[in-house]
Structure 1
């Protein structure tokens, strides 16, 4: 009888532990992590630092835009229209594999040498699919985010690293926290997407990369 009681108690504790171990939802709200295949679960890959950056994306967005407006760049922000709307997210968030043009917007200066709003010329980028997760590669410019896209409800989480200058290979994610990048990609219009990178390490408080077919 005592053995049966102990077994019952242990089973009850295990059930309670399972109920208390749910993952936090990703931005936009998603299913618990346990419902996602391990190889497609960004939560099992992301560093703690990047989890925090992603968790605070909205506060970062609002603070960056507020800083840009206070710096006299309100008209530039307004000119981005839906690109600068934090709640603009349509169904089917992932762009299909192919060639694209990417335009980087840096919002909110991080340091005294940067402007509160900078728009760069469009450069080449691509989405690559190989039977697993889609890959995002920015192939033009001196700063080139490179990483994987993890489907996550109405958005897809981006985990990758920054490639600089004439470097031809990205660092492995998690190898250098100053290179690590986290963000999310979503569709904001017909054949139009954006990659949002909250709290990048240098220059800006928020990067938004507009993605359109080449």
Structure 2
């Protein structure tokens, strides 16, 4: 994490470096088809969602089986209900990192609750994690009744704005949203660029 924050700080000090001040394009620019927006490398990550779960879950269970079991359906790859696009509003969210993808990372890490929000943007939704040192932000695209696709970028440290998707492969994020309870959703990020094999962000209305 310290390495990520330092890299971001150095980039922000470079003359003419403005990629962190460029806003995301709006829905009218993007359309509603996530496939026309996603980079090829991100498509590959999404296609490998099952293998990422299969690799990460045994490692997480070996690290802390009671904590993994306590979350129930949150870590069941096959649970998905109709209503994948969450309604606009204010949410509480918490992040879990499953399986270490770097030598210094742990196989199971649970973070406390933070602030998130969902905003309507036409047929799309914008997901924003508002607090914490790592803050995904991006659009949710309708895909099928039980799944929405997330395309966004990672905001770090004291950065005050997300960069455009597709500018920096290391910051680009792809995942999917599923409803797993009456008013409970999860954002699954297979093989994120840092630390873990799978990130799971749970969010519920605040």
**Selected match of 1:159 from 133, 151, 165:** 151
Question: How many pairs align?
Answer: 176
C-alpha offsets along residues 31-83 of structure 1, whole Å, 9 cap, x if unaligned? xxxxxxx711000000000000000001101100122233x322221111000
- Structure having the higher Rg: 1
Structure 2 partner of 1:96: 87
1:130 to 1:69, Cα distance in 2 relative to 1, 3 A = closer
CA RMSD of aligned residues (A): 1.1
Paired position in structure 1 for 2:16:
none
Q: Which residue of 2 aligns with 1:176?
A: 168
- 1:30-49 alignment runs, 5 A limit: 39-49=31-41
Q: Which has the higher contact order (CA 8 A, sep 6+)?
A: 2
Following the alignment from structure 1 to structure 2, what is the Cα–Cα distance between the partners of residues 192 and 212?
5
Matched, 1:119 2:119: no
Match of 2:98 in 1: 107
**Which deviations, in whole Å up to 9, do the C-alpha atoms of 1:128-164 show, x marking residues without a partner?**
0132411000001000000000001120000000000
- 2: CA distance between counterparts of 1:73 and 1:211? 22
Q: Please list every run of 5 or more consecutive structure 1 residues that lacks an aligned counterpart in the other structure.
A: 1-37
- Which TM-score applies when normalising by structure 1? 0.80
- TM-score, scaled relative to structure 2: 0.83
- Any idea what SS the aligned residue of 1:194 has? strand
* Paired residues for 1:1-214 under 5 Å: 39-70=31-62, 72-153=63-144, 154-214=146-206
SS in structure 2 opposite 1:90? coil
Q: Deviations over 1:4-30 (max 9, x none)?
A: xxxxxxxxxxxxxxxxxxxxxxxxxxx
